[in-house]
Homo-oligomer: A and B are copies of this chain.
Amino acid sequence: MSPSALVEALPAATDTQVATITSRFSVNGVPARRSTAPKISGALAPSASSDMFKGPQKGKPTSKNWDHLLSEESKSRLGSTLKESAKYLATPGLISLGGGLPTSEYFPFESIDFKVPVSPNFTEAQTQETGQTLHIGKHDYANDKSLYDIHIAFNYGQATGSAQLLRFITEHTEIVHNPPYADWNCAMTAGSTNALDMALRMFCNRGECILSEEYTFVSAVETAVPMGVKVFGVGMDEQGLRADALDEMLSNWDATARGHKKPHVLYTVPTGGNPTGTTQSFQRRRDIYAVAQKHDLYIFEDDPYYFLQMSEYHSDPNRTPPAQPESHDEFIASLIPSYLSMDIDGRVMRMDSFSKVLSPGSRVGWITASAQIIDRFVKHANVSTQNPSGMSQLVLYKLLEEGWGHSGYLDWLVHLRKEYSARRDVLMRACDEFLPKEICHWTPPVAGMFHWIGIDWRKHPDVGPVELDAQERKQLVLKLENYIFLHGIEENGVLVAKGSWFRAEQDGGENLFFRTTFAAASGEQIHEAIRRLGMTIRKEFKLDSQ
């Protein structure tokens, strides 16, 4: 079935549903909604839920039930006796000698001040000059100075994360993604890698398999494999995962030949995918979602690069840079809709991360999924990570809520988009200048921080006219890849990542790729590194040096 045929197969209601939700929640709606909500509690480790902060979800369907897809481990989770006994704490006049929460008297931290930029002056130099200092006192809540303080954040918390930061995250999720079913919820995570570890244990028993892009985030594969969960790769094109390849694979699944029963989980990085830098178009996402509906697939949407969607690349540096969005609504509208935003079944666990947009060291991210799935996730986290670092949550809360607000945060994301676009352009221009086009090919990425360079190994001088078999091709690719990788480091001082590292099926593959990134090095260094990479490839392929 072709992708477009699949879309036609979607129930008519679906299209309408997605299209008719017009009264979207926006930044401007935040104050009004909050003004009628109860004050956030200052109790220690109180339970929290996105339902406390969401708007009315009328007209939306409720999510499907996923009992039949959950693992034995997840189905048997009863939750945490101690965390749940916290419900009695609301009894008026109660003195608790119940929970072993230490008193904040013994947290040796009196106050914290930290300096952050003020919109729109986001650069380091500007921050030094015009930044604002945010102050956190130990007992700010009791003193009516803030809803969150050291007394609360530095104690134990709940697996959802604190109500204080969860409110911001829930509102942000509704503003950006507006999930089209009613019972969606958010829960914080100790980073998306940890969330994936837990999600795999929720949905997979030992001996099962999942699907992902053919070239995928290698840590995801390394997370799954020791659990006895095999990852099969789905064919890709310049838009990443192919819906037709996914449908074909599932429609013709041969459990005996594959050694695994038909999978029920798809792991995908839809935007600026790691390592290929590819981004699924809106239509592609709808096609894949339809395939997921057809085959009862649950989708893990790992989307840390969502806000690193860049302006289009133009090779001419003198061209006027593309206009930036003029409003937050325009910015959000310019982003390709997420799976979450089209998820009428509640079959998506979306994983969001602050790592690529604020700080990887926070180890705070969040997932959004149906209430049932969030409940399973939280029950695991309560007896594992317990809650993401309260120190991190407090710093993020102060910055996002009291420093910037939703508006300032969106400004920051627009700033990042501009910065990453400029970095991407430097790398692209260097590739245009230094890589031998007769053997290298690439598509300029429109999102993320990675650039994927393919090399036509058939043009290597040692490749003769005799057709190699698959095994020989794979061996040759691995050998060439290793030469270029090591010569790059040892002779020319450039480190790039090997394409074979990222194979879902860890078999090397028959194509030669390298991943580069424009995330970290300076413009000058990027330019020089690509010059060195070009030199290395030219030498290996015995091409004239430039």
Contact = CB atoms under 8 A, between A and B. Distances in A.
Given A74-B226, A218-B81, A519-B103, A193 B383 contact: yes
Interface in A104-123: 105-117, 122-123
A377 interface: no
Contacts of A226: 73-74, 76-78, 380
Interface size class of A (residues with CB under 8 A): 35 or more
Interface string A31-64: 0000000000000000000000000000000000
Contacts of A72: 206, 228
Interface string A133-157: 0000010000000000000011111
Of A228, A380, A517, which is in contact with the most chain B CB atoms at under 10 Å from its CB? A517
Nearest to A450: B100
A94 B359 contact: no
Nearest to A75: B226
Contact of A78 (B110, B222, B392, B528): B222
Contact of A157 (B106, B131, B361, B399): B361
A103 B193 contact: no
Interface string A507-518: 000000001111
A194 interface: yes
A216 to B, nearest CB: 12
Contact of A360 (B155, B355, B501): B155
Contact of A85 (B77, B80, B497): B497
Interface stretch (A240-248, A253-261, A463-471, A488-496): A488-496
A449 B114 contact: no
Interface string A380-401: 1011111111111111000100
A363 B190 contact: yes
A520 interface: yes
A127 interface: yes
Contacts of A74: 226
A116 B110 contact: yes
A93 interface: yes
A112 B110 contact: no
B389 A362 contact: yes
Of A190, A194, A419, which is in contact with the most chain B CB atoms at under 10 Å from its CB? A190
Q: What is the copy number of this chain in the assembly? A: 2
A508 to B, nearest CB: 13
Contact of A95 (B359, B416, B529): B529
A412 B108 CA distance: 9
B154 A495 contact: no
Contacts of A89: 495
B97 A517 contact: yes
A385 B82 contact: no
B362 A98 contact: no
A11 interface: no
A416 B106 contact: yes
Contacts of A516: 97-98
Contacts of A520: 96-97, 99-103
Contact of A391 (B111, B361, B385, B525): B361
A20 interface: no
Contact of A222 (B79, B197, B206, B521): B79
Of A117, A191, A226, which is in contact with the most chain B CB atoms at under 10 Å from its CB? A226
Given A156-B355, A389-B391, 7 more contacts: A95-B529, A97-B427, A97-B529, A102-B520, A154-B360, A154-B362, A219-B383
